[in-house]
Structure 1
Amino acid sequence: MSDDALSLRDLVATASLETEVLAGDGGLWRSVLWAHSCELPEPWRWLGPNELLMTVGLCVPEAVDAQVEFVRSLADAGLAGLMLGRHETCPTISDAMLAEADRLDFPVLATAPEIPFAAVSRHIAAASSTRQTMEVLSLAKLYSLAAESSENLAEFTVSVSKLLRIGIRVTDDLTSRPLVEHPGPFGGNATNVRSHDYPLRASEPATLTVEEAEGEDLSSLVLVHIMKLFELSADRVYARSRFASQRRSLLLEGLLRGSHDEAIETYLKESRLAEGYRAVAVSGEDFRKVSLGLSLAGMPVLAAKRGDAGLVLARHEVFAEVRGLLAELEVSAGVSATFSDPRDVSTAASQAAEARSHAAGEGLWHEYRGVPLSVLARSYDEAAEIVERVLGELGSDAPKSRDLRETLFTYLRHDRSWNAAASELGIHRQTLAYRIKKIEAATGLSLTDTADLAALWIAYRAWVLIHDGTDV
């Protein structure tokens, strides 16, 4: 609140009011908007934040435990403080009640018997009138700033921060990413700064965080208008984000269809996909969060929802940023190999989807395990690399690995004939089925997928080359 607001310290310092502090002097910075005399039980039900309760003690309980709870309830309701009139009706105030007031920094004051509460009320009313005049002037300036910076949220935020001497941050609730922020006069290092969060009713859930110095709380009137202005500003950001998302989706769908209209040709020229790009697949549930996060971060990528999954296409230069964002959002993703020809977008999308569907183990990032292979290995070094990358643990000399490798090679040699393979191996078909599942788990490849079968066949031929015709 501004310096024009009356604080409890100002009230105590007014000699004519003959007021002393009994407890809670750590909260004398609190601003007082109004003062009410109330003798009803549970007076916090009738008073609001930053209002002073004045009582001759009829509403104060006599039991010690009840007095402690009484002070705690007043503080929880946000009242500015408690003023006791020194009157015979006032019960004895316990040390426990005063200790609780000290703990909560909730001021408990006492006035002389001859001071009428009306004098206190008039004093606060006069100060409030001046403050309200200043509030109206602040609101007029606030709306003038909003008009001047209607399309520039960052500029508007800086102006409001300077006008009201507060720190401001607006955060998108879904992604936890800031739409805008400015530390105000505090610079992130000041002490005695309090932070308050307020939900915004924008088109997407968002939160306004206000940082204020102690004793300079925003009035509820100014705060309501600030919230409304930032709701409107956030809506403009979200509208731009939705438009950008729709454009990204249309362009990516066009690339996947092999379309080459003017918009896509322009994007291909500007995006420099030929320098290298990768596809990232995420779940459909996560796609909305990912798409919004990409828009708010201003990343030059394409993204579209495809069935029950989402796809992101990112060129080489920004790929690390995309990965960082997904890690920040805690989103699991499958990732393709690197491509340079825009005509391979569909292949990249398939690889990313496969990597996500075959994801095993912990972690959020799952690379495609397929390997681009020559039809035949051209050297022993190349053959060894193929065996290592495709067969993985099946290339070891461990007995279990040897059994699975023999089963795989036999199955491939017999053109995937279950009967012929089981007969040569001398095992039952159910045993063969069990081993095939083990082979697929160990390699991450499917014996029903054409691309995976091709890789496994070439790995088998590479093994034969290395081992001089020995099958296993």
Structure 2
Amino acid sequence: MMMISVDDLAALPTMGLEFVAGSAGGHRMVTWAHVCDLEDPWNWVGPGDLVMTTGPGIPRDPADQVEWLVKIIDAGVSALVLALGPNSPAAGDPMLEAASERSFPVLTGRFDLQFVTLARAVIESSIDAERRRITAIRRLYDINSMEVEAGEGIGSRLSALEKISGWSLCLWDEREGTVLFAGRHAERTGLSEAPDTAAEVVALPGDPYLRLAASPIAGATPDKPLLAHVVGLLTMEFRYRGAEQDRLRQSGQELFSGLLAETITPSAVWPELNRRGLTEAVVVACWTSVSGAELTDSDVHRRTWLDGLAPLLARQGSSLLGVVPDDDDLLRRIAESVGDDAVTGVSSTLTSNSSFPEVVRQAKLAGSRAMELQSPVVRYDDDQTVSMFPSTPAEVRGLVRGVLGPVIDYDRANSTELVESVRVFLGNDGNWSRSAKQLSIHRQTLVYRMNKVSELLGFAPASSKGTALLWLAIESARRTGIDLADIVDD
């Protein structure tokens, strides 16, 4: 909102003001006016003020005058008006030259200049500008609210806010180096192509990577306080979005756990997947670091390129598992965001009738193969995954002995059934009660057997590593038609 400028004051015919120095700074805006005849006016005024004096506080020595003026300039004052009395020292050339060098307006008027009238002109202009600013602020919030209620996206809202604020606006993610949303003015003027060249680049509080780029619209009157309110509106929105995304990740972890434990069926959770934007073909993906580094997945659910999508994400050991759309670009983006050397294993398509633990196992196996090959993406049952099964009976026997050897030896020496217990346990997707029932043993007996297997192998059958290795060994024997008992007898 435009206030009165020094040039505007000089143009008022009733004031009789004339520039004697610093006319290049005539565009400066004046927010308030003070009469000050003290020797230290800089202690009593502030940025944007107009200082008016009859001169008794002005030093007489030219060097002291320069120092006096510099202190006023450094206080942020917009201009100085001299209406010198008959006993006041004249402004010397060094003082006026210093004002011109700093483009600081110095104006003179008659000694009988009515300071009250001049101050009233400044104050009335300031009050009117503030009144218009308040009206514009109210319009900003009203327009934003109406656009939200109408279901308009942020790009449309930025266009509406551009008209009121006088700024071209675009929102960009500095981490990704991409523009997320842009108003129509920003698109037309090319600001959306190079947001870092904007006149103003403001960080949105609460997010270290979101930036609002703003440049004045030609012919409009941009107002920085209004821009601050635009930043406030966007900050509130993205903080709300962040909190909602955190809630969705938490509930997604709970859904994932329920699906894995089979206390929830895929068919029961399907409507929720659709509400989360998972409306097309979905898969289970497993992301793991080749080097074993910790995955930085704490904010992956907040990435702006998800664009409203809320996948189910859950940590299991050193891996990140997710129910996500079967989209190569999305799988790649998630991998890049969680680790420098993260690879991705992808299951077959998840359907409402799928066995969720089986689909998770597929993703883990594909992820293990991706780590082995150091391949960015491996899909279950593609050529790369199939090749992880041994191709000859001798290789199968070697694999089974390498993985299950200690358990086989223990069974042989003690006439126990640990290998069979592992096979049944994996075949029932780690379900304790169902496995114990199939083996006709008490559930606690099965727990004892699995603990013994963990002791012999150095890893738990139910762990990611245990599930992958044990299932691979047992499934390889099954695919090759080799009986585990035959291997035991070997």
Q: State how far apart, in whole Å, the 1-side matches of 2:44 and 2:260 are.
A: 64
Query: Within 5 Å, which residues of 2 pair with 1:306-321?
Result: 306=316, 310-317=320-327, 319-321=328-330
Are 1:199 and 1:207, in contact at CA under 8 Å, matched by a contact in 2?
A: yes
Correspondence for 2:120: 122
Query: Within 5 Å, which residues of 2 pair with 1:28-427?
Result: 28-38=26-36, 46-55=44-53, 58=57, 62=63, 66=67, 70=71, 73-74=74-75, 77=76, 79=77, 81-85=78-82, 87=84, 88-89=88-89, 92=92, 93-94=94-95, 97-98=98-99, 100-102=101-103, 107-114=104-111, 115-151=113-149, 152=152, 154=154, 155-169=156-170, 180-182=181-183, 184=185, 187-189=188-190, 194-195=199-200, 197=202, 199-200=204-205, 209-212=213-216, 216-218=221-223, 220=225, 222=226, 225-257=229-261, 259-266=264-271, 267=273, 270-273=279-282, 278-281=285-288, 286-293=296-303, 297-299=307-309, 301-306=311-316, 310-317=320-327, 319-324=328-333, 327=336, 331-342=339-350, 343-349=358-364, 352=367, 372-373=386-387, 376-377=390-391
TM-score computed with the length of structure 1 as normaliser:
0.59
Q: Could you give the per-residue CA deviations for residues 3-49 of structure 1, whole angstroms, max 9, x where no partner exists?
A: xx322222222233333445555543333222223466775665444
Residue 208 of structure 1 deviates from its aligned partner by 5.1
Segments of 5+ residues of structure 2 without an aligned counterpart are 192-196, 351-357, 396-401, 407-465, 477-490
Are 2:369 and 2:388, in contact at CA under 8 Å, matched by a contact in 1?
A: no
* 1:121/1:284 CA distance change after superposition, 3 Å: farther
State percent identity of aligned pairs: 17
Q: Could you give the per-residue CA deviations for residues 218-237 of structure 1, whole angstroms, max 9, x where no partner exists?
A: 264x5665555444433443
* 1:147/1:250 CA distance change after superposition, 3 Å: same
* 1:148/1:212 CA distance change after superposition, 3 Å: same
CA-based RMSD of the aligned residues comes to: 5.2
Matched, 1:13 2:11: yes
Q: State how far apart, in whole Å, the 1-side matches of 2:64 and 2:338 are.
A: 53
TM-score computed with the length of structure 2 as normaliser:
0.57
Q: Could you give the per-residue CA deviations for residues 75-108 of structure 1, whole angstroms, max 9, x where no partner exists?
A: xx4x5x2224153346534476345414xxxx42
Residue 246 of structure 1 deviates from its aligned partner by 3.4
Q: What secondary structure does 1:15 align onto?
A: coil
Are 1:56 and 1:89, in contact at CA under 8 Å, matched by a contact in 2?
A: no
Residue 133 of structure 1 deviates from its aligned partner by 3.3
Structure 2 counterpart of 1:188, which letter?
T
Give the number of equivalent residue pairs: 375
Q: State how far apart, in whole Å, the 2-side matches of 1:217 and 1:181 are.
A: 17
Residue 323 of structure 1 deviates from its aligned partner by 2.7
* 1:171/1:48 CA distance change after superposition, 3 Å: farther
**Which range moves more in the overlay, 151-160 or 122-131?**
151-160
Are 1:175 and 1:292, in contact at CA under 8 Å, matched by a contact in 2?
A: no
Segments of 5+ residues of structure 1 without an aligned counterpart are 384-411, 417-447, 459-472
Q: State how far apart, in whole Å, the 2-side matches of 1:296 and 1:231 are.
A: 19
Are 1:335 and 1:351, in contact at CA under 8 Å, matched by a contact in 2?
A: no
